[in-house]
Amino acid sequence: MAFDLDEQEQLATLKDWWNKFGNLTTWVLIIALSAYAAWSGWNYYQRNQAVQASQLYEELQKAVTTKDNAKVQRVASDVQQKFGGTAYAQMAALSAAKTAFDANDLNGAKAQLQWVVDHGREEEYKAIAKIRLAGILLDQKAYDDALKILAGDVPASFASAVADRKGDILVAQNKLDDARAAYQLALDKMESHNPGRQLIQLKLDAIGGAPAKAAV
């Protein structure tokens, strides 16, 4: 069927527009579709990673229940190697550290805690690992290493626990003035209704009470 004049003009206009902008439009569409496909693929990958990591973590928890330290360490290592970017890797490392500690495997416990400190994504998990690792180093009389682990910023909710652990280390070093300051800071950072305040206060009283204030 022959086109009438109006249709021919419309076709001519369309062809002219396509010659000018057709390739650009095609590339924009390709880029948009590629971005959407990549976003969808990434979300699927993330969900798949989380599902697989959760299955391994469940297996680890079963081994924790039976106190099978060797299996706990093996599964924790698998989670870290395959799914190190997930929260499950950090949780697995903390669980593995506790199991190793209970089994008197202090090197294993330290290795798991150090992994969280070095590779953890969430600052809260890293703070927990630092406090626990510093406690093991304190028991091993590695005081300077323990204080080094506790250096730096931590989330506000962990500031009291870190200061308390520093106080314990400083007492062991017989640096009582510094220890008093650390315990006082721990009390200052802790909520007034927290029952942990009583223990910190006992430790502070045992080394002479609140630190002396500098003269003005």
Query: Which pair of structure tokens corresponds to residue 191?
Result: 């909520």
Q: What is the pLDDT along the chain (216 residues), one digit of tens a residue?
A: 444 555 666 666 666 655 665 565 555 554 555 554 444 444 444 566 677 888 888 998 999 999 999 999 999 999 999 988 888 899 999 999 999 999 999 999 999 999 999 999 899 999 999 999 999 999 999 999 999 999 989 999 999 999 999 999 999 999 999 999 999 999 999 998 999 999 999 999 999 877 655 433
The structural domain count of the chain equals 2
Are residues 111 and 41 located together in one domain of the fold? yes
Q: Which of 97, 121, 145 is the last residue of a domain?
A: 121
Instruction: Find the domain containing 80 and state its range.
Output: 23-121
Are residues 113 and 34 located together in one domain of the fold? yes
Are residues 106 and 39 located together in one domain of the fold? yes
The confidence score (pLDDT) of residue 7 equals 60
Are residues 114 and 194 located together in one domain of the fold? no
The confidence score (pLDDT) of residue 48 equals 62
Q: Which of 101, 121, 141 is the last residue of a domain?
A: 121
Q: What is the DSSP letter of 152?
A: S
Return the CATH number at 189.
Answer: 1.25.40
The confidence score (pLDDT) of residue 104 equals 95
Are residues 38 and 117 located together in one domain of the fold? yes
The confidence score (pLDDT) of residue 51 equals 77
In a domain, 176, yes or no: yes
pTM, rounded to two decimals: 0.74
